[in-house]
Amino acid sequence: MSEPRATFGFRDVEPEEKPRLVRGVFDKVARRYDLMNDLMSAGVHRLWKDMTAARLNPQPGETVVDCAGGTGDIADRLAKLARGAQARRGGADPRILVVDYNAEMIAAGRTRGLDPAIAWAVGDAQALPLRDASADAYVIAFGIRNVTSIPAALAEARRVLKPGGRFLCLEFSKPPAPALAKAYDAYSFKVIPAIGALVARDRASYQYLVESIRRFPDQDRFAAMIEQAGFGRVGYTNFTGGVAALHHGWAI
């Protein structure tokens, strides 16, 4: 039996083809990635990331994996929270590892001069460069829909987490209210690619990003996939009416 095809936007492609296609997208958008996030969301993505980092609640001495961490937006927040806890209570330095498949995104992150607790690695969400049960927490923000196999990435997250380790995934999702869903759909397909064309000189990459959001499982389907990967106490919190959702679980 042949391996199931992977999604790339509205297209179905061979699994071995998707990493190359996704890498091509992020090679193009890396330099303007953070600016485009601000423009596309009117800055709201910053609030979502703040809430994600606060929910993860990193502690001194913990090892945290920021998978598909790109330019370090989440890692920077985690480092500041962990340093704050360290200043109040003492303890060892935190260890935050940003892993991203795209070298251009990692290079862009390194230029930001973030906290030295942050380490950077080019790597695959489906084959992380970490030992079994070596991390206290794992977060992936706006990255899991770009992997070739979501179940494989979830299984890898479970592999690297210690028993009781915390799993968080921030991802665009499906607004349950029909009126909001309709408005969000219109904005996504008419405005976001146009902003990409104007600011990043790259309409096609942002068309892919919008399409990839539409192909991603809704909140309940994705929660079921997290449970199937071996996580307990799985749940999610909708942000901005379900435009994005923060999924959580604990390694059991």
pLDDT score for 3: 63
Averaged in consecutive runs of 10 residues, what is the pLDDT profile of the chain (252 residues)? 80 94 88 82 93 98 97 96 97 97 93 94 96 98 96 98 98 96 94 89 92 96 98 98 97 95
Helix H or strand E segment including 223: helix 219-228
pLDDT score for 29: 84
Write down all domains in the chain, each with its CATH number in brackets: 22-251 (3.40.50.150)
Which residues lie below 8 Å from residue 141, measured CB to CB, with a gap of 6+?
Answer: 49, 52, 66, 68, 69, 73, 74, 169, 170, 171
pLDDT score for 200: 81
pLDDT score for 1: 43
DSSP 22-41: HHHHHHHHGGGHHHHHHHHH
Rounded to whole angstroms, the Cα distance separating 141 from 33 reads 14
pLDDT score for 27: 87
pLDDT score for 95: 97
- Of how many residues is the chain composed? 252
pTM attached to this predicted model:
0.94
Strand ranges across the sheet with 63-67 = 118-122, 95-100, 63-67, 135-141, 161-172, 244-251, 231-239
